[in-house]
Structure 1
Amino acid sequence: MNRINSFPPIVDENSRILILGSMPGAKSLQMQQYYAFPQNQFWKIMFHLFDAEFSQDYQARISLLKTNNIALWDVIESCERKGSSDTEIKDEIDNNIPELIKNYPNIKTIFCNGQKSYKNLVKILGKDFKIPIVCLPSTSPLHTVKFDEKLESWKVIRII
């Protein structure tokens, strides 16, 4: 099995929110873009949350995040995995989340995209970390909750 690596974080000095996934799926790795799998609802949710016209253009997607002070990364730096499912992740190495938070002190809340990223993050940072950690429903198509229900849960991001 081949070892796969996550992407660098999308972050700048204005980032107030950090959204963490687990590890990019096969389509994302192939395209070298976060959430590139068309059935993943991450980008659809982001555009809905900020009342922006949906775009397939990756630079427009990144711009939407930065405009809204959102940083994006994954909790896992590298792992072995067959396919794209989090349940297939083996031999994982964590990204240095504490260093990212230290280097970008404006980050005030961390949102985890699904249970895997949340469980890994709590292992890294502990439950009583200095800034809030919120677990949101996964945007993956494997998490079979209706779009409207996911969107409703994700609306908490706008309040921060």
Structure 2
Amino acid sequence: MANIFAMPTDTYEQKKAIIRKRHLALWDVIHSCEREGSLDSAIRKERVNDIAGFIQKHTTIRLVICNGKKSYELYQKHFQNLGVSCVYLGSTSNANRSIKENILYEQWKQTLWEALGYGNKTM
């Protein structure tokens, strides 16, 4: 997101500022799980966060973007009936080598800009 919005991310506060300034929310689908290693395919016994409650509390949420296949699968399994659009984008994890970084960047940029109403304009 730092590259997409051309904002610094040297500190945790700067990272949070990107999210707040653009009126975005960032939350993991998984609350807790068991996993050996870092691959999503190794996730077992997952418990999901209360995304339904979060969306009910924050009624202006129009779009959920899932960062990776496992996130999308879990969202669809537990939250597909919330009435909020959901899109899957390739994982930004370093473990994801199936999509070239520049292609991944463009996918995220286009989706975020459209969701925020920027279209093809620069920010």
Which category describes the TM-score, using the shorter chain as reference length?
0.7 to 0.9
**What secondary structure sits across from 1:130 in the alignment?**
coil
Inter-partner Cα distance in structure 2 for 1:50 and 1:159: 13
Inter-partner Cα distance in structure 1 for 2:9 and 2:33: 30
- Measured after TM superposition, the shift of residue 47 of structure 1 is 1.1
- Measured after TM superposition, the shift of residue 143 of structure 1 is 1.1
Count of aligned positions: 113
1:130 and 2:83 equivalent? Answer: yes
Paired position in structure 2 for 1:50:
5
Paired position in structure 1 for 2:64:
110
TM superposition outliers: structure 1 runs of 4+ over 6 Å:
none
- The residue identity in structure 1 corresponding to 2:46 is E
Inter-partner Cα distance in structure 1 for 2:59 and 2:25: 12
- The residue identity in structure 1 corresponding to 2:69 is Q
- The residue identity in structure 2 corresponding to 1:133 is C
Contact 2:52 2:82 in 1 (8 A): no
Q: Which has the higher contact order (CA 8 A, sep 6+)?
A: 1
**What secondary structure sits across from 1:74 in the alignment?**
coil
Q: Write out per-residue CA displacement over residues 47-91 of structure 1, whole angstroms, 9 at most, x where no aligned residue.
A: 111122x32211100111110111011111111111221111111
Paired position in structure 2 for 1:143:
96
Gaps of 5+ in 2: 116-123
- Measured after TM superposition, the shift of residue 129 of structure 1 is 4.0
1:1-160 to 2 correspondences below 5 Å: 46-52=1-7, 54-126=8-80, 129-144=82-97, 145-155=99-109, 156-160=111-115
Inter-partner Cα distance in structure 1 for 2:33 and 2:50: 14
Higher percent of residues as helix: 2
Percent identity, aligned pairs only, is 34
Gaps of 5+ in 1: 1-45
